[in-house]
Amino acid sequence: MPEPALQDRVILITGATGGFGRALAEAAAAAGAQLVLASRQQKKLEALSDRLTAAGGPAPCLFPVDFTRASGNPYQALAEGIEADLGRLDGVVHAAVRFQALTPLAGLELEEWQRALHLGLTVPFALTQACLPLLGQSPDASVVFLDDEVGRGDTAFWGGYAVAKAGVSALMALFATEHGHREALRFNALRPGPMATPLRARAFPSRDDNAQPTDRAVSACLHLLGPSGHGINGQTLDPGQGV
């Protein structure tokens, strides 16, 4: 994609300090986007902001929040803050996930199950719902959910993370179908495949497998967010296999 492909677009990224979220933030800023970055790790958010501005991009808006512990309605607060500060929203990428370790269901603690489902499924629903009015005002808005093959139900030990990813696939399809009449608003999923990220390292701490750098997945996400993705709705994009 050409560098200014996201020029003048406001893009919200959750999980912005994670492996994929951070790489996407850097690429989206280089493509001209005004970013809103959400993460529970404030110091890492500030460090990422410094890196983006040092590279010549506009200062991102930071929203430090732990969605699994926040009180009140942080989703509405975030949407209202974006409207007040920036006046528009053109894209959302749900990159926040919750994964601790590979664990059999028989030994999985209830609290960990609940937090994984909350961050991986409830947050994408609630935040997308809260942002719908703003997204609906954009001439070309895109919401991207991160999918994962472990959500297909044939992979053991991934616990609440796998169930959340299975739910996200259905959630994306519901949003896409219910808003299919709105040409300027689209909902898709990205299945990046194994990536060399901290999450992958937690799952396989002593394994050097086929994990790939995040570059290909980031490029695919930029495609879904930008004008080249216009008209794509209700699809799961696999950078290795196409839509």
- pLDDT over 60 (residue 243): no
CATH number of 3-237: 3.40.50.720
pLDDT, residue 216, reads 86
| pLDDT tens per residue across span 190-222 | 998 665 555 555 555 555 555 555 788 999 999
Q: Domain ranges in the chain?
A: 3-237
Beta strands 141-146 and 185-190, pairing class: parallel
